[in-house]
Amino acid sequence: MPLTMHSAPMWRRFAFASVASIALLPVVSTLAIAQTATFAHSKHHNVEINFADPTTACAASTLRLTMQITPQSQEIDTLEQQLHLANALGSKLSTDSSCNNVQSVDLAVMQNGTQTHSLHATRSDNWKFVEAAPATNAAQEVPTQESTTTPSAAPIPQPEAPPPAIPDGYMGLLALLVQKNPALLGNEAVQTCWARHFFEQDYINARGNDFRQHEVANKAKLDLERVSHQSASGQLRADLTLNLGQYDFNTSSFPVVLDGSVLSLSSNCDLSAAQLPNQVSFKLGEDNFSFPLSMPSAQAEQFLKQRTRYGYINRDMPVTLFFSVAEPELAKLNTPDFHIVPVELTSVKIYNDNARKELLGTIGAETLSGMRKAQADAQAAHLAKEAAQKHAENLRMMSERVQSANRSEKLAMWVGQDHNGYGLPSLDTMRSVRTSASLRNQPVPAILLVQTDSSGRKQVETKWPGKLTLTVPQDQPALSSGTWYIVQGQVSVPSKGDFPDATMAVQTLHACTQDQCKDAEDPQALATALQAQTTH
């Protein structure tokens, strides 16, 4: 699973979910039953599945088995993992002729000699194992009189089964996509991808055998259907290895740094036939995350010593990210197009071992929400600082331009500026404006120096330059007769008549106090006015 950061350093990590591989042993003959009670063996989990009664083996309609979990067993602690391993027995039960009489299987899960779960499957349900309900204690149903004898110790209540494990990385995403679009279950590319990840040995062994390939594909389809049904809507998981930072004595914690804000999940499958992307990128936040691993200083010192070999401190920390995808965003992933999907981190677990069994710390939703708020505040402060710097630079450049501008440019700058930049406009001549409007046969923009010959807002005549009337909008002050103005707007020239009056629809104006706007040439007054404009 690669983790990439746009316009920042990038790293990649490809992760494949654990595979429950079972070496299925042939059912032994009656003469050999006394020598072995093993029905199947999982090398991956280091778990044996034995006959509860080797003398009957597969002869009875109900086959009773035990799953022997020892301290040496691996990745088989949860009910979900145990069910996954048990379901791998379905292939043998369906194909082994010596088990034709078996119609149901009772499987007792034994952990260090103590039964923790009872699993059950039937041939009619295609050997899909489920947890069997605990047997009712008949003695508890019959009321008894109080006794002075010491009661037997109450059974230790078993903890509730943990929620089904979300497959890591892209496979978890694939299960969610199937959950939203069950038609994908029938797609050969999807079945093949799931088989390669979770039934790798079966997939390899089936090469060149169409019948065996069909069996493995169907097995993958059923498993994917089960996982997609059990997956929580919109929930995903990614296993990463992050860097352990320097201990912070102020917060009594190590920072575990996620150097990047875009997480990319990739698959080595070709899912183009299913119209699915082979890589999906998720935006985790606005910036890097630093997850605090709280630890007292004395314990932290010992922690680093335990991770030191030959003078080198191993700072690689296995971390699991849990995050949620909104339904509308998830729907976008049903196409091969590239999308960066925003997600929300819901939990982070930090481990001390690559097997992810020794949990060091959990970052919950409340802490993550605070981290996101801090990121948003920092981003807002950064943008505000950039805007202030840009504004200051614009003011500096504006001041320089005002000082170097000629008279025409200074007058035009009173009405020719906007908030997107600071150019150096200049006054237009009435002749050039009339010519341009006549040639284009449409209104043209212009900045003009004018003196009014009447007052009001509509069809105000001018003494200068003459042959021009002005119309002023309501958001601008009305014009006064005999006053000099600098006006900016659209000038139109009628196409008929002998040198008809041009008309200007005024958009912006500046009223001057001196003839020919001599007062508007003052660079200090102009700079002050422009600075006030850019502040609003």
At a CB cut-off of 8 Å and minimum separation 6, what does 489 contact?
445, 446, 504, 505, 506, 507, 508
> What CATH number should be reported for the domain whose range is 407-535?
2.40.50.200
The arithmetic mean of pLDDT across residues 108-137, rounded, is 81
pLDDT band of residue 16 (cuts 50, 70, 90) is very low
SS3 content of the chain, % helix, strand, coil (to 5): 35, 25, 40
Q: Which residue has the higher pLDDT, 251 or 285?
A: 251
- Please determine, for residue 111, whether its predicted confidence score (pLDDT) is greater than 60: yes
- Please determine, for residue 26, whether its predicted confidence score (pLDDT) is greater than 60: no
The arithmetic mean of pLDDT across residues 476-480, rounded, is 95
Task: Say what the pLDDT of residue 92 is.
Answer: 81
Q: Which residue has the higher pLDDT, 379 or 24?
A: 379
At a CB cut-off of 8 Å and minimum separation 6, what does 153 contact?
none
490: left (phi over 0), alpha (psi -120 to 50) or beta: beta
Task: Say what the pLDDT of residue 133 is.
Answer: 66
Task: Say what the pLDDT of residue 195 is.
Answer: 95
pLDDT band of residue 309 (cuts 50, 70, 90) is very high
Euclidean distance between CA atoms 257 and 3, whole angstroms: 13
Distance of CA 394 to the CA centre of its chain: 38
At a CB cut-off of 8 Å and minimum separation 6, what does 358 contact?
351, 352
Task: Say what the pLDDT of residue 492 is.
Answer: 96
Euclidean distance between CA atoms 462 and 452, whole angstroms: 4
- Please determine, for residue 141, whether its predicted confidence score (pLDDT) is greater than 90: no
What's the longest Cα–Cα distance across the chain? 127
The fraction of the chain above a pLDDT of 90, given in percent, is 52
Decide whether 23-134 matches 407-535 in CATH topology: no
- Please determine, for residue 211, whether its predicted confidence score (pLDDT) is greater than 70: yes
Q: Write out pLDDT tens, residues 46-84.
A: 888 888 887 778 888 888 989 988 877 888 888 888 998
- Please determine, for residue 18, whether its predicted confidence score (pLDDT) is greater than 50: no
Euclidean distance between CA atoms 412 and 328, whole angstroms: 51
Sign (positive/negative) of CA torsion 303, 305, 310, 311? positive
- Please determine, for residue 135, whether its predicted confidence score (pLDDT) is greater than 70: no
Cβ neighbours, 10 Å, residue 185: 16
SS3 at position 305? helix
The arithmetic mean of pLDDT across residues 409-437, rounded, is 82
pLDDT band of residue 184 (cuts 50, 70, 90) is very high
Please name every residue paired with 342 in a beta bridge, in sequence order, or none if there are none. Answer: 283
The fraction of the chain above a pLDDT of 70, given in percent, is 85
Alpha helices in 349-491 (DSSP H): 365-404, 407-413, 430-440
Structural contact between residues 345 and 323, judged by C-beta atoms closer than 8 angstroms: yes
Task: Say what the pLDDT of residue 535 is.
Answer: 59
pTM score of the predicted model: 0.50
- Please determine, for residue 1, whether its predicted confidence score (pLDDT) is greater than 60: no
- Please determine, for residue 395, whether its predicted confidence score (pLDDT) is greater than 90: no
Distance of CA 23 to the CA centre of its chain: 38
- Segment among 129-143, 205-219, 271-285 with least mean pLDDT: 129-143
Which among 63, 51, 114, 108 has a CA at the least distance from the CA of 82? Answer: 108
Q: What residues does each domain of the chain span?
A: 3-12+169-363, 23-134, 407-535
Residue 425 tokens read as 């406009």
Q: What is the mean pLDDT of the chain?
A: 83
Kindly give the interhelix angle for 365-404 and 523-535, rounded to the nearest 10 degrees.
160
Using CA atoms in the order 458, 459, 461, 467, what is the torsion angle rounded to 10 degrees? 150
Report which listed range, 61-65, 75-79, 86-90, 237-241, is most confident.
Answer: 237-241
Q: Which residue has the higher pLDDT, 338 or 179?
A: 179
Which among 136, 137, 132 has a CA at the least distance from the CA of 109? Answer: 132
The arithmetic mean of pLDDT across residues 512-534, rounded, is 89
The arithmetic mean of pLDDT across residues 270-295, rounded, is 90
Report which listed range, 28-37, 137-146, 311-320, 383-392, is most confident.
Answer: 311-320
| Ranges assigned E (strand) in 440-526 | 444-452, 460-464, 468-471, 484-492, 502-511
Please name every residue paired with 118 in a beta bridge, in sequence order, or none if there are none. Answer: 108
Euclidean distance between CA atoms 85 and 190, whole angstroms: 22
Q: Which residue has the higher pLDDT, 498 or 3?
A: 498
Q: Give me the sheet containing 23-24, strands edge to edge.
A: 23-24, 38-42, 47-51, 62-69, 104-111, 114-122, 130-131
Structural contact between residues 73 and 45, judged by C-beta atoms closer than 8 angstroms: yes
DSSP assignment, residue 451? E
| 452-461 long-range contacts, CB within 8 A, separation 24+ | 452/479, 452/480, 452/481, 452/482, 452/483, 452/485, 453/481, 453/482, 454/479, 454/481, 455/479, 455/480, 455/481, 459/503
- Segment among 22-26, 183-187, 215-219, 257-261 with least mean pLDDT: 22-26
- Please determine, for residue 488, whether its predicted confidence score (pLDDT) is greater than 60: yes
pLDDT band of residue 507 (cuts 50, 70, 90) is very high
Q: Work out whether strand 340-342 and strand 279-283 pair parallel, antiparallel, or are unpaired.
A: parallel
Q: Which residue has the higher pLDDT, 124 or 505?
A: 505
Sign (positive/negative) of CA torsion 429, 432, 436, 442? positive
Cβ neighbours, 10 Å, residue 302: 11
pLDDT band of residue 134 (cuts 50, 70, 90) is low
For domain 23-134, give the fold: GMP Synthetase; Chain A, domain 3 (3.30.300)
Q: Work out whether strand 468-471 and strand 502-511 pair parallel, antiparallel, or are unpaired.
A: parallel
Q: Write out pLDDT tens, residues 186-207.
A: 999 999 999 999 999 999 999 9
Q: Which residue has the higher pLDDT, 81 or 339?
A: 81
Structural contact between residues 485 and 450, judged by C-beta atoms closer than 8 angstroms: yes
